[in-house]
Amino acid sequence: MENNTYFYIIAFSRTGRQQFVLFSTFLFLYLVCLVWNMIILLVIILDLHLQKPMYFFLRNLSFVDVLYISVALPKLLDIIITGNNRISFTDCFSQMYFFTSLACTEICLLTTMSYDRYVAICFPLHYTLLMEKRKCNLLVAGCWIAGFCNSLFVTIFASHLSFCRSTQINQFFCDIKTLTKISCSDIHEFQTMIFVEAFLMGLCPFLLILMSYTKIISNILQMNSVGQRKKSFSTCTSHLTILLIFYGTLLCMYMRPPSENSEELDQIFSVLYLAVTPTLNPLIYSLRNKEINFAIQSIFLKRQPHI
């Protein structure tokens, strides 16, 4: 890196009359995400009926989402309200490290959750044995370790880039794609490394999820009872919805071919996967999951718990 001290985050930093609308929107998303994810966390911890592998993974997903949205949104809110869009190199790369870590951890958790649904539907009689507590703890620990170790490798590699032409980041957080665009280093090796990382942490988990759901759907279609098929498929719909939103926005962000409006589109898709997705996750689960609905009602509304 050169002797520059700061990056300048220019997306949403010059908003004029739209300042209040943007600030209110992002603050609303942030607070909804925090409140709903904390509710999911609290409910799963307190309700004895939710002490199952599926909800253990969901509890970790909610915790990841709280951290994930907190990586960039508080800084963005500060930029919008104060107009001070400077961020030091150290803070920028720290932000990139934690964002990449948590994004990779979330991908691994979603993959683990698809495996959990595969075991529950395809091997229901052996589910308790195959998904016993120690194995679930190891799977979750593996997700966190894989996410943070992978991100450390990417961040160290990125920290050796030079930024002699520009330090203006046309994005609302320190995104690796945007930093690559403004670097004056030879980025061919770096791009190759990113391609390998995308294959290992993006495509491979996606293929595992695809395999799991192919077997799940095949198994459901072979069930004789229509009611049983509906019940089995309903346990997967929330997870499938979150997968489609999360992977869809990431693919649109990082795999989309360049266009004239690519920077504006990048900002839109960044808002979707960094702010909207972690806000929707707990809402999707709480609205579509009867057990969580009952648990919320019994804990917060003092209704009789379900049996």
Q: What is the pLDDT along the chain (307 residues), one digit of tens a residue?
A: 444 578 888 877 655 567 888 889 899 999 999 999 999 999 999 888 888 998 999 999 999 999 999 998 999 898 888 888 889 988 999 999 999 999 999 999 999 999 999 998 889 888 989 999 999 999 999 999 999 998 998 888 888 888 776 788 888 888 887 888 888 877 777 777 777 777 788 788 888 998 998 998 888 888 877 777 777 777 788 788 888 888 877 777 776 666 555 677 777 778 888 888 888 888 887 776 778 888 888 887 765 555 4
Q: Structure pTM?
A: 0.87
CA distance 47 to 64: 20
Q: Which residues contact 147 (CB under 8 A, 6 or more apart)?
A: 100, 101, 102, 103, 104, 105, 106, 107, 108
CA-to-CA separations, 128 to 52, 116, 208, 238, 243, in angstroms, rounded: 9, 11, 22, 22, 25
- Sheet containing 168-169, strands listed edge to edge, beginning at the edge strand earlier in sequence: 86-88, 6-9, 168-169
Dihedral pair phi/psi, residue 248, rounded to 5°: -60, -45
Which pLDDT score, from 0 to 100, does residue 307 have?
Answer: 44
Query: Which two tokens mark 170?
Result: 């046309």
Dihedral pair phi/psi, residue 125, rounded to 5°: -75, -25
Which pLDDT score, from 0 to 100, does residue 27 have?
Answer: 93
55 contacts 298 by C-beta, under 8 angstroms = no
CA-to-CA separations, 302 to 237, 287, 305, in angstroms, rounded: 28, 19, 8
124 contacts 216 by C-beta, under 8 angstroms = no
Which pLDDT score, from 0 to 100, does residue 273 have?
Answer: 81
Name the E strands within the chain.
Answer: 6-9, 86-88, 168-169
Which pLDDT score, from 0 to 100, does residue 97 have?
Answer: 94
CA distance 118 to 122: 6
CA-to-CA separations, 155 to 194, 228, 282, in angstroms, rounded: 11, 47, 29
Query: Which two tokens mark 243?
Result: 């997968």
117 contacts 111 by C-beta, under 8 angstroms = no
Residue 282: how many CB atoms within 10 A of its CB? 27
Query: Which two tokens mark 6?
Result: 């700061």
Which pLDDT score, from 0 to 100, does residue 247 have?
Answer: 81
